[in-house]
Amino acid sequence: MTEPTDLAKLPGVIPYVDNHNGPRRLLTIDVPPVSMNAVRHYVPLTSIDGRQYVVSWGSVTFEIPADRNVHVSVHLQTNYASGLTSTPFASIVLAPHPSPVRLATRFTNAEGALLPVG
């Protein structure tokens, strides 16, 4: 594991915990509630390079590598009613870039998407 960068020391930033010695940048993901029913019965899960994080509804910020591709995915999971189920997931591979990036999730009945904001 590498030492935290200055980015990881910012309040509310989830540090990149896998081995990486290169430059890093910030990734903010907006996970707006799709409905009040979703807020009551689902929990958002975000994966960064395969490492899964339980996150809250709203915006969450991660520190990610800036000098290589990074795989990001988001899905909703529930154990309400008939058991453990997952929704369709939203997934994207971010290309290397030095600037911060912001993504927003969009879930429909059958699909999910992660879209750039701004």
pLDDT attached to residue 108: 74
Tens digits of residue pLDDT in 10-49: 899 999 999 999 999 999 999 998 777 778 888 889 999 9
**Beta carbons of 83 and 105 less than 8 angstroms apart:** no
Q: Residue 78's domain spans which residues?
A: 6-116
Residue found by looking up tokens 């029913």 in the block: 37
Is 1 part of a structural domain of the chain? no
pLDDT attached to residue 80: 67
81, pLDDT greater than 70 = no
d(CA 62, CA 31): 13
pLDDT attached to residue 85: 62
Nearest of 94, 79, 102 to residue 32 by alpha carbon: 102
Enter the pTM of the model.
0.86
Structure tokens at 105: 């999730």
**Domain CATH code at residue 47:** 2.60.40
Q: How many domains does the chain have?
A: 1
pLDDT attached to residue 88: 67
Is 24 part of a structural domain of the chain? yes
Is 93 part of a structural domain of the chain? yes
